Amino acid sequence: MVFNFNNTYIKLNKNFYSEVTPKKIKNPKILILNKKLMKKLDIENNNDLAEILCGNKLLSKPIAQAYAGHQFGNFTMLGDGRALLLGEHITKKGIRYDIQLKGSGITPYSRGGDGKATISSMLREYLYSCAMNNLKIKSSQSLAIILTNEKVLREKIENGSILVRVMESHIRIGTFEYVSYSSSKEELVKFTDYVIERHYKNILNYEEKYLKFFEEVMDKLIDMVIEWTRVGFIHGVMNTDNMNINGETFDFGPCAFMNYYDPNTKFSSIDAYGRYSFKNQKNILLWNLTRFAETLIPIIDSDNKNSIEKLNKILKKFNEKYNEKYYKMMKLKLGIKKEGNFNSIIDKFTTWLEKNKTDYTNTFIELINPTLFADKSYSSKEFIELKKELSEIGLDKDIMKKVNPLYIPRNYQIEEAISEYNSKNSLEKFNKLLKIIENPYLKKPNSKIYQTPPLIEYDLKYKTFCNT
């Protein structure tokens, strides 16, 4: 079996998508194939695999999905401008996955774009999606990168490629914005019922299932951002069109992992004012959820005023829920298994991190295995006293090892790996990095370099790009 497509999205209102035909690729070549994911999806390799994965040989009619979104706070009508849904694949276990091509050509939603993707951006997304999944964070997965033998102009001219992306679904908050703003109440009901049937079967029998649906989505997205915080991940472009309604992290454009701890950290070249900085991810999530709530007002209650009151009642729980989950997560990172409120010592610890600008990942490793790193901050009187205070209530190594990764993809090492491919057609550094993050909680021999942050001056200048 290559793909077992059983498409349901095409049964929705035809205004929600457009049928598209991928651009034909001459002599497509598979650069990277995720064999582990192939096995998970029950997909067998065959001679036609490259032709199928690039869209030359179609097993069903592809579509580009329409959606809207608030981008940096401004509402825009959008859609898959350089992507298409090959189909919905059903595994032998009955699990449904979207198979999407990214960089597959122009669609009705391209808005003047070329519909292509550079090899640099797709290598980046492949690596990040692997890292996030291996860090135990629910995320999109990358099945393959296909070389297209085309040139793509972005910051410079690069070789083109297509990423084969796998997700439970590509339905976003922005999809609800599109349906709510462009369709009738009846269509909104049909669409929401479809999403609940597909992703939230557990609430089908709730009396106020649309209200419960909103709360379930809020809980999943809180969990997602808490997990980002656990490993120091900065998404970089938390627009509502990049917020999946079932808590999958996706769209790894201007994202990055934080090295030196600073809540104001941002790397995105288009985020001039830090709207999506590390510390603002919580606040932006609430902002995005409020936009989501607005789309559901017509179907929560027959009286819009009552709908708003009910939705606001749930939104008012956001800070309490988020903070509870945040401190629970931080207790695990610090190995605190005692019951009780330890918020003050956690805050004290993060204040120390910020004051000393120490490496976020390595500091927790230092607490598990002292003297591993030659950082003067770890021998300071303040840190020694803080560590002693923590040892009286926590620092349980068994707990800490499960949630604190030994490795993250370091920004400069990602750039070095991509640069090596672009200059030498070599994936040596890229594959070594993939191997390191295959299990980021397991110590690897001769891996100290992968725990070494860049110079702080490098991080202060480092920028990431959307590459659309």
Amino acid residing at 355: K
Mean pLDDT by 10 residues, the chain (468 residues): 93 97 94 97 93 96 98 96 97 97 96 93 97 98 96 89 98 98 97 98 96 98 98 97 97 95 96 96 98 98 98 98 98 96 98 97 97 92 97 97 98 97 97 97 95 95 83
Q: Are strands 17-19 and 96-102 parallel, antiparallel or unpaired?
A: unpaired
Which residues lie below 8 Å from residue 132, measured CB to CB, with a gap of 6+?
139, 233, 249, 252
Neighbours of 355 (CB within 10 A): 11
pTM to 2 decimal places:
0.97
Asked whether the beta carbons of 76 and 205 are under 8 A apart, the reply is: no
> What pLDDT is stored for residue 374 in this prediction?
87
> What pLDDT is stored for residue 366 in this prediction?
97
DSSP output for 297-347: HHHH-SSHHHHHHHHHHHHTTHHHHHHHHHHHHHHHHTT--SSS--HHHHH
Q: Quickly tell me which residue has 């064999």 as its tokens.
A: 35
Helix (H, G, I), strand (E, B) or coil at 407: coil
Active site residues: 241
Asked whether the beta carbons of 438 and 238 are under 8 A apart, the reply is: no
> What pLDDT is stored for residue 468 in this prediction?
59
DSSP state for residue 5 in the 8-state scheme: B
Long-range contacts of range 281-286, CB-CB < 8 Å, 24 or more positions apart? 281/225, 281/228, 281/229, 281/234, 281/235, 281/238, 282/225, 282/322, 282/326, 284/238, 285/221, 285/222, 285/225, 285/238, 285/243, 285/322, 286/315, 286/318, 286/319, 286/322
Neighbours of 457 (CB within 10 A): 8
> What pLDDT is stored for residue 467 in this prediction?
67
Which residues lie below 8 Å from residue 225, measured CB to CB, with a gap of 6+?
281, 282, 285, 322
Asked whether the beta carbons of 356 and 350 are under 8 A apart, the reply is: no
What gap in Å lies between CA 117 and CA 160, rounded to an integer? 6
Neighbours of 112 (CB within 10 A): 6
Q: Are strands 157-167 and 141-153 parallel, antiparallel or unpaired?
A: antiparallel
> What pLDDT is stored for residue 155 in this prediction?
80
Backbone angles phi, psi at 378, to 5 degrees: -80, -10
